Structure 1
Amino acid sequence: MTDNVANRPLVRSMPLGLQVAVLAALSASGTLATNILLPSLPEIATAMNVSSAKVTSAITVFLAMFAAGQLVVGPVSDRFGRRAPVIAGSAIFFAGSIWCALANDLPALLAGRVVQAAGACATSVLSRAIARDLFNGEKLARVLTFVMIAMAAAPGFSPLVGGALDHVFGWRSAFAFVAIFAVIAAIAYCFVFGETHHATRAPLDLGAITSGYRSLSTDRRFVVPAATVSLILGALFAMFSALPRVLIEGLGFTPLQLGLFFAGTVMIVFSAGIIATRLVPRLGLDRSIYLGLVLACAGGALVLLCALLNGGFLPFLAGSCVFLLGMGMVNPLGSAQALSPFGDRAGAASALLGFWQMLAAALGVSLAAVIAKDAMIGLGLVLVLASIVAAAAYQIRRRG
């Protein structure tokens, strides 16, 4: 890959930490917009006179649009550069956030969420492309590691921010917060980076793009680990969407307490990543991933058992922690396994993996809301089902 830093003296003069911070902010926009409103779901449902299960559709439509948009943004940025899509995406994200903040009924909120997701997918996806434009080798690996940490931290810490905003200002303030975040991130991007794609612009050839995605979708080296990771991530988002009903409505938590619970999940996921990197040299990649899948299955089973036996918060917490530990191992290792054979098609493989992940997340959120009247039982069923199917799918690779 050609090092473009020399062509961008402004970028070269900026501290690496500042560049990473801006890329992290861009990458976290999607998960920030998704999870910051989770503590407010019950209040939104009351304000709009709908059930909490119905208002979770605000998560589903966002994830569905976010998934589809990734398949479009990558080729567009290869043709027109990074600057225009990032700025346009930030503007669309801002407009969608304000739309949501002003919504007075569920259809208006859902429409705003679709607009919001259309903008967020551009900034989130292109953060990785910008990093590839500017860095290579070990520096690229370090930068992308910090970007992935930001993407993992945003779902954990954003509910804490959302819970505090909800407590002080009400649920609409969360959308105002992400609108301001979008403006700041866009200004920082323009100041620190600007245009970074100086290589030959690829034409927008729909046939070639479709053929590339079709080829990946029939290659078992990609399909098996990508499907495994997507199923586990779908279960994770089902947990995120169900927790407000489980903890606030079922166990009497406040929105701020729910935010603290989410913040705690970040530490578990980080710990799982550290454990995974240490296990791989000893067990190998396949066995390490399968160990994570076993933990995810066990954690899901504990959550379901707790729900069926009315076990209370501590057993639920134990099951959730075990599942998160397994998920935190499977997600980075499985993603690396899905992308590593396709260095010549890394962009397409990354976009397709992201599409599958967000599509599975949308399905997981929807299923958790409708599979059972009791929120904890519904969550337990989704965790068990997704984890077992993921483990069974991964056996195809182990036996291949």
Structure 2
Amino acid sequence: MQNPSEKRATSRFAENESPSIDAILKTAPNSEPILTREPSNAAAQSGDSPWSIWSPKQRKLIILTASFASLLSPLSSQIYLPALDTIAKDLNVTNSQVNLSITTYLVLQAIAPTFTAQLSDTVGRRPLYMACFVLYMAANLGLALQNNYAALLVLRCFQSAGSSGTTALSNAVATDITTSDQRGSYIVYAAAIPMLGPTLGPVAGGLLAQYRGWHCVFWFLFVLTGAVAVPMAILFPETCREIVGDGSIPPQKWNRCYTNVHMERRLMKEGNDVPHNERDGISGSRDAYSWIPNPFSTITLLLERECGFTLLYGSLLCCSFYATLTLIPSQFHAIYGFNELQIALCFIPFGVGSLVAAFNRGRMLDSNFRRHATRLGITTDKTKQTDLTNFPIERARLEVALPTILLGSACMVGFGWTLH
């Protein structure tokens, strides 16, 4: 069971952190907002108890499953790009107007996680996953059947709201079952599958748009979501620490899956008590209105100096990334005369580079983490949370991040040169 300060920390991480960042933000009582290291969880872990009852293989499988769900957001964004010119012609609108559907998608992509992540800390990860899947499938069904520009804009908003929430949930799941000193390696599994979106999305979208029409793009997403949602509804366990603790506390009956039932039976067979009362105690201690999402609690993080600068940095990278992707269909068609399939192939380097970075980044962060821990004489244990109060976590991350930022900036200049 987490104490109140850890609860706030977990909630904020789930709402705001990217897959490569595992720091948790909180505000210390009677002090200015500060960036703190993940607190010592001795109380939460009852001394020598592990952070999670799931084995390393089970953790990887859980995070990979969540990663497949979070693929929907980047895939929906990228699969749409090769068909932009075709959609503009079919709907009798300009390229600038059809590009507006990308803007509306990104706006909802930023707003939706502030609701889903916070709500998932109260009702659990699984219910929010299912809600996201239902909304996303309904939006794709509407997009596959419509031929109206206004409907395109509105339904793309709903599509974004349904898919983007899964990304925050994937990060939250990784935080639920991993400790800070091993999270970099596990985050690789959370980030690897979504990184396939920039590669597979445009190729699939280009093929579907050229040979089956752009409506088929949304039929494909509808079917794919069903293929992901059904297995998750049956097998994906609840991981929220506010509900299941280290995984040994059974979730609510309506929130159980086969995996939870199997785990409960195994604990009983081994002669261990199933701590139902602990979950009831957690539920009873909550405020009656705690289930109501409050997006303003996320917005207030912008006022914290460290968090505000971190989000500004991430937003600039995101802007440059999507500006590049949006330019490719129209400019490569106008300059080089590429068709939908040829344009789709131009997106492959983005996906390959993102995938390589995802695997290397996690290992580099973990390696640098261990290097500084050894230098400071800090002992780390992969099964337990490490007290990072006196650890230079910002330095450990910046030493990995700064070289990649410089390399990415140089590549952006090179891309601009190709358009002339």
Distance 1:38 1:208 in 2: 32
Q: Shift in Å at residue 287 of structure 1?
A: 5.7
What is the aligned partner in structure 2 of residue 398 from structure 1? Answer: none
Instruction: Give the partner amino acid of 2:309.
Output: V
What is the aligned partner in structure 1 of residue 376 from structure 2? Answer: none
What is the aligned partner in structure 2 of residue 264 from structure 1? Answer: 349
Q: How does 1:240-251 map to 2 (within 5 A)?
A: 240-251=325-336
Unaligned runs of 5+ in 2: 1-43, 245-281, 372-394
Distance 1:300 1:52 in 2: 23
Q: Shift in Å at residue 214 of structure 1?
A: 5.2
Specify which of 110, 126, 134 is matched with residue 169 of structure 2. 126
Structure with the higher fraction of residues in helix conformation: 1
Unaligned runs of 5+ in 1: 311-400
Q: How does 1:218-367 map to 2 (within 5 A)?
A: 218-272=303-357, 285-286=397-398, 289-307=401-419, 310=420
2:325 is paired with a residue of what secondary structure?
A: helix
Q: Shift in Å at residue 94 of structure 1?
A: 0.2
Q: Is the 8 A contact 1:157 1:259 kept in 2?
A: no
What is the aligned partner in structure 1 of residue 153 from structure 2? Answer: 110
User: In the alignment, is residue 164 of structure 1 matched against residue 276 of structure 2?
Assistant: no
Please, what TM-score do these two structures have when normalized by structure 1?
A: 0.67
Deviations 1:223-254 (A, max 9, x none): 22321121011110111111111112331112
What is the aligned partner in structure 2 of residue 96 from structure 1? Answer: 139
Q: Alpha carbons of 1:192 and 1:13: their partners in 2 closer, same or farther (altered >3 Å)?
A: farther
Distance 1:39 1:211 in 2: 36
Q: CA RMSD in A?
A: 3.2
Q: Shift in Å at residue 177 of structure 1?
A: 0.8
Q: Is the 8 A contact 2:140 2:221 kept in 1?
A: yes
Specify which of 137, 140, 147 is matched with residue 190 of structure 2. 147
Distance 2:179 2:135 in 1: 31
What is the aligned partner in structure 1 of residue 127 from structure 2? Answer: 84
Distance 1:120 1:302 in 2: 32
Q: Shift in Å at residue 183 of structure 1?
A: 1.0
Q: Shift in Å at residue 290 of structure 1?
A: 3.8
Q: Shift in Å at residue 16 of structure 1?
A: 5.5
What is the aligned partner in structure 2 of residue 362 from structure 1? Answer: none
Distance 2:159 2:120 in 1: 19
Q: Shift in Å at residue 110 of structure 1?
A: 0.9
Distance 1:297 1:15 in 2: 38
Q: Is the 8 A contact 1:14 1:192 kept in 2?
A: no
Distance 1:119 1:278 in 2: 32
Q: Alpha carbons of 1:286 and 1:19: their partners in 2 closer, same or farther (altered >3 Å)?
A: closer
Q: Shift in Å at residue 149 of structure 1?
A: 1.8
Q: How does 1:198-237 map to 2 (within 5 A)?
A: 198-199=243-244, 200=282, 203=287, 204-205=289-290, 212-213=297-298, 215-237=300-322
2:338 is paired with a residue of what secondary structure?
A: coil
Percent of aligned pairs with the same amino acid? 23
1:56 is paired with a residue of what secondary structure?
A: helix
What is the aligned partner in structure 1 of residue 94 from structure 2? Answer: 51
Q: Shift in Å at residue 123 of structure 1?
A: 2.2
What is the aligned partner in structure 1 of residue 4 from structure 2? Answer: none
Deviates more, 1:223-232 or 1:91-100: 223-232
Specify which of 217, 221, 226 is matched with residue 178 of structure 1. 221
Q: Alpha carbons of 1:306 and 1:255: their partners in 2 closer, same or farther (altered >3 Å)?
A: closer
Q: Alpha carbons of 1:102 and 1:207: their partners in 2 closer, same or farther (altered >3 Å)?
A: closer
Instruction: Give the partner amino acid of 1:65.
Output: L
Q: Is the 8 A contact 1:103 1:109 kept in 2?
A: yes
Larger Rg: 2
Q: Shift in Å at residue 156 of structure 1?
A: 2.4
Instruction: Give the partner amino acid of 1:195.
Output: E
Distance 1:17 1:272 in 2: 19
Q: How does 1:69-80 map to 2 (within 5 A)?
A: 69-80=112-123
Instruction: Give the partner amino acid of 2:161.
Output: A
Instruction: Give the partner amino acid of 2:72.
Output: S
Please, what TM-score do these two structures have when normalized by structure 2?
A: 0.64
Distance 2:63 2:237 in 1: 14
Q: Is the 8 A contact 1:66 1:117 kept in 2?
A: yes
Q: Shift in Å at residue 161 of structure 1?
A: 1.0
Distance 2:291 2:234 in 1: 33
Q: Shift in Å at residue 84 of structure 1?
A: 1.7
Distance 2:168 2:350 in 1: 24
Q: Shift in Å at residue 64 of structure 1?
A: 0.7
Deviations 1:168-221 (A, max 9, x none): 211111111111111111112112214333243554559995674355322222
Deviates more, 1:192-201 or 1:226-235: 192-201
Q: Alpha carbons of 1:71 and 1:275: their partners in 2 closer, same or farther (altered >3 Å)?
A: closer
Q: Is the 8 A contact 2:207 2:340 kept in 1?
A: yes
- The number of residues matched between the two structures is 304
Q: Alpha carbons of 1:303 and 1:213: their partners in 2 closer, same or farther (altered >3 Å)?
A: same
Q: Is the 8 A contact 1:25 1:185 kept in 2?
A: yes
Deviations 1:121-161 (A, max 9, x none): 23222122233334446665433211112222212221011
Distance 1:130 1:293 in 2: 27
Instruction: Give the partner amino acid of 1:220.
Output: R
Q: Is the 8 A contact 2:117 2:169 kept in 1?
A: yes
